[in-house]
Every structure is written in structure tokens, then in C-alpha cells.
């Protein structure tokens, strides 16, 4: 019997498998499609909650740990897989922030640099932004990750590890109590392990329903689009930094592409992109960066965030079921939270001193 069975190959499942394998354990990861192709692919890759001061401290604590971890993680993945997840630490400009006092107080408490800057600074940093902004909040330490490549790199890493068995295109149909253990029924037959970890993203609640359990994790649809932009004559990108205004954000990639996100919709498990969201995202993008009106929209897509109460993920044992664990419900912040959230569960699984107090994340 394998030591660990992981259900779901998003960033959460893959980072968990990697850490357990690194600690010398045998791990099987079962994924219904290809690893890293659901929310972990669809997201924007901002390595911070959008307005971090509006979140509970339990999210800030995970986020802070992960933010410190990402630069090294990206370097290690590039060195070990040849795939560059493109971690870029270029900072974030917040436009039109209404609750600046709360933001400043949060930054002071967290020891984060955050300052109000004037129009000269703003347009010097981002000359192509729409005119008329008089000031902004500037967070110089913010990073972003090219999450589809992060997924590819994690998958390549797992494929290279002899302790890891990746079973892609295998769907888990239900969980079943078998004596004192849990059995995982897949389309290709039953699987079990000493410990089973559910990392099924937005589908984790559905998986637990098959055991008669009700975990409040539900899908929240998010649509995004990407523009292909030319480099300017001086070799600068049209946009260098993440910019956020009225809940909508622009994220530049190293090759000049610019993403706009995102919608927040309750649409059950429907991932169909809509014309209405296209029009709304397009309008927001051009309002922030007018030159995008001359650029091609390369792609428009939707993904399902694993929503949870207050966006606080469930990380830890499933109560009253021996050997069953969950790591799900990271909502809008699963990419940034993934390193800390997975490490926190691995610490509990391996009985190591935890990086943080695990209590706020227990079911």
C-alpha cells in the first residue's frame, strides 16, 4: 500500500505530492484530466490577495509565508525542470482605493511596504495608463507567477520523481468507507492508501458528499482574457506592473502579454465564457490602459475557484474519519497560498512542527 494518495492535481495536489516525495514517501496522485489545467491554470497568478487588508489574518499569515517562498520555488523549478514559471517581482499600483487608512494600518502591522504616490511617480512607472489619475497606492514587493507554466513545471517535476505515481485521466467517482479505512473508487478500479488527501479544488465538496459529509466548498466562476501587445520602440513593455482599479486587475507577462481579470459569478460548475463578461472585461481593460484597444484579444476563458466561507481554506484532517485529510477552499488566493497551505498540511501529516498554527484552518 502506498503511503499517500492525493485526489486532484492542481497546484495544491501537486505541491503536496512533491513535498511528501521529497520527504521520502511513496505518493500516488489521481487527476481526472491533466494536472494543472483547472483553476490553477485559469487564474491570474498574482502572488498576494488582491486587497490583502480586507482579508482575515489567517489568510495574511499563509500569504506572507508563501510570498517569501515563491522566488526560491520558481528558481528551483526552472533549474530542475527547464520550465520557467516566470516569477516577476515588479510591484503593484492600486488606483482609486477607498479604504486607504485600513490598507496603511494593515501594511504597518504586517511590515509590508505600501505608500501613497503621486501622478509623476505613477506615470513614470506606467506611462501608458489612462490619463487623469492623481495618485495611487504602491506596493513594491508584489510578485506574480505565470501560473500555467507553474503547473507545467510542477507536473514535470512530479514526472521525474520515482516515488510519485501520476495517474492522469482517471476520475474519482466516489469515496467509500471500507472497514475502518477509506477506499477511493475510480473509473479504473478502487485505490487506497494509509492516508488520503483531497485536493479537488471546487469539486472537493462533491467528493465529500459521497461520504455523506457537507464541506462548504463551492465553485465560483471567474472569467479572464489576455491581450497580445507589441513591445514599444524602446523595448519597454506596454505594462510592467500589476495595476488594480475597482476590483479589476491588469497583469503583465514577461513577453508583453497583458491579462485582465476577473468576474465573480455563481454558475454552479459551468465554465462557459460569456459575451457579457467579454464586453465587461474588455471595457475595464481599455479604460485602464487605452492602448489595449489596438491589441488583439488572444484568448478569453473561465475557471472555477474553490469558494469557502471568508475564503479561508480547510487544511487538515476530516473529523471522525481516520486517514482522510483535506486541503481545499482557497477561493481567490490558491496560487499565492499554495506553498504555505500545502506545507502546513504536510507538517501535520509528517508530525513536524507546523510553520503556523493550524487551528484556524481546521474543519
Ligand X SMILES: Cc1cc2nc3c(=O)[nH]c(=O)nc-3n(C[C@H](O)[C@H](O)[C@H](O)COP(=O)(O)OP(=O)(O)OC[C@H]3O[C@@H](n4cnc5c(N)ncnc54)[C@H](O)[C@@H]3O)c2cc1C
Binding track over 205-244 against ligand X, x by CB under 6 A: --x--------------x-x--------------------
Q: Whose CA is closest to 150, among 52, 24, 47?
A: 47
Q: What are the backbone angles phi and psi of residue 130, rounded to the nearest 5°?
A: -55, 145
Stretch that binds ligand X, among 5-13, 84-92, 208-216, 343-351 (CB under 6 A): 5-13
Starting at the edge strand found earlier in the chain, the sheet holding 92-95 runs 115-118, 135-139, 92-95, 242-245, 248-252, 258-261, 218-228, 296-307
**Number of chain residues interacting with ligand X (CB under 6 A):** 42
Q: Whose CA is closest to 249, among 299, 216, 289?
A: 289
CB of 76 to ligand X, least distance (A): 19
Q: Which of 33, 230, 247, 290 binds ligand X (CB under 6 A)?
A: 33
- Residue 189's Cβ-side half-sphere holds a number of Cα atoms within 13 Å equal to 1
CB of 36 to ligand X, least distance (A): 7
Is 287:80 a contact under the CB 8 Å cutoff? Answer: no
Residue 52 interacts with ligand X (CB under 6 A): yes or no: no
Residue 307 interacts with ligand X (CB under 6 A): yes or no: no
- How many other CB atoms sit within 10 Å of the CB of residue 253? 18
Residue 256 interacts with ligand X (CB under 6 A): yes or no: no
DSSP one-letter string for 259-287: EEE---B--TT-----HHHHHHHHHHHHH
CA 21, chain centre distance (Å): 22
Stretch that binds ligand X, among 28-36, 82-90, 106-114, 158-166 (CB under 6 A): 28-36
CB of 123 to ligand X, least distance (A): 25
CB of 219 to ligand X, least distance (A): 9
CA 348, chain centre distance (Å): 22
Stretch that binds ligand X, among 30-38, 68-76, 128-136, 342-350 (CB under 6 A): 30-38
**For residues 224 and 237, which CB has a smaller minimum distance to ligand X in the complex?**
224
**Which positions touch ligand X (CB under 6 A)?**
7-13, 30-33, 38-40, 42-46, 171-172, 199-203, 207, 222, 224, 261-262, 303, 305-306, 328, 330-336
Amino acid at each position: 500500500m502506498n503511503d499517500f494518495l492525493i485526489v486532484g492535481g492542481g497546484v495544491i495536489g501537486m505541491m503536496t505530492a512533491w513535498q511528501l516525495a521529497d520527504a521520502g514517501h511513496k505518493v500516488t496522485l489521481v487527476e481526472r484530466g491533466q494536472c494543472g489545467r483547472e483553476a490553477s491554470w485559469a487564474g491570474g497568478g498574482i502572488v498576494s490577495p488582491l486587497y490583502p487588508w480586507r482579508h482575515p489574518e489567517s489568510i495574511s499569515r499563509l500569504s506572507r509565508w508563501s510570498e517569501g517562498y515563491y522566488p526560491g520555488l520558481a528558481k528551483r523549478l526552472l533549474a530542475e525542470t527547464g520550465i520557467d514559471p516566470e516569477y516577476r517581482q515588479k510591484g503593484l499600483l492600486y488606483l482609486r482605493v477607498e479604504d486607504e487608512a485600513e490598507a496603511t494600518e494593515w501594511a504597518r502591522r504586517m511590515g509590508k511596504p505600501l505608500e501613497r504616490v503621486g501622478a509623476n511617480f505613477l506615470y513614470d512607472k506606467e506611462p501608458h495608463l489612462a490619463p487623469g489619475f492623481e495618485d495611487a497606492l504602491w506596493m513594491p514587493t508584489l510578485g506574480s507567477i505565470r501560473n500555467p507554466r507553474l503547473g507545467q513545471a510542477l507536473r514535470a517535476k512530479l514526472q521525474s520523481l520515482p516515488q510519485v505515481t501520476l495517474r492522469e485521466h482517471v476520475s474519482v467517482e466516489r469515496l467509500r468507507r471500507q472497514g475502518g479505512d477509506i477506499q477511493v473508487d475510480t473509473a479504473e478500479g478502487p485505490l487506497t492508501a494509509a492516508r488520503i488527501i483531497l485536493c479537488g479544488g471546487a469539486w472537493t465538496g462533491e467528493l465529500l458528499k459521497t461520504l455523506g459529509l457537507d464541506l462548504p466548498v463551492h465553485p465560483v466562476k471567474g472569467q479572464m482574457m489576455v491581450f497580445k501587445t507589441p513591445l514599444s520602440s524602446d523595448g519597454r513593455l506596454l505594462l510592467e506592473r500589476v495595476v488594480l482599479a475597482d476590483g479589476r486587475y491588469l497583469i503583465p507577462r514577461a513577453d508583453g502579454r497583458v491579462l485582465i481579470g476577473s468576474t465573480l459569478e455563481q454558475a454552479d460548475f459551468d465554465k462557459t465564457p460569456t459575451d457579457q463578461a467579454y464586453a465587461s472585461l474588455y471595457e475595464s481593460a481599455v479604460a485602464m490602459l487605452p492602448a489595449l484597444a489596438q491589441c488583439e484579444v488572444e484568448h478569453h476563458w473561465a475557471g472555477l475557484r474553490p469558494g469557502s466561507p471568508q475564503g479561508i481554506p480547510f487544511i487538515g484532517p476530516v473529523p471522525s474519519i481516520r486517514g482522510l485529510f483535506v486541503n481545499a477552499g482557497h477561493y481567490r488566493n490558491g496560487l499565492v497560498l499554495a506553498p504555505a497551505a500545502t506545507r502546513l498540511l504536510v507538517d501535520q501529516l509528517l508530525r513536524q512542527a507546523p510553520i503556523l498554527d493550524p487551528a484556524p484552518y481546521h474543519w
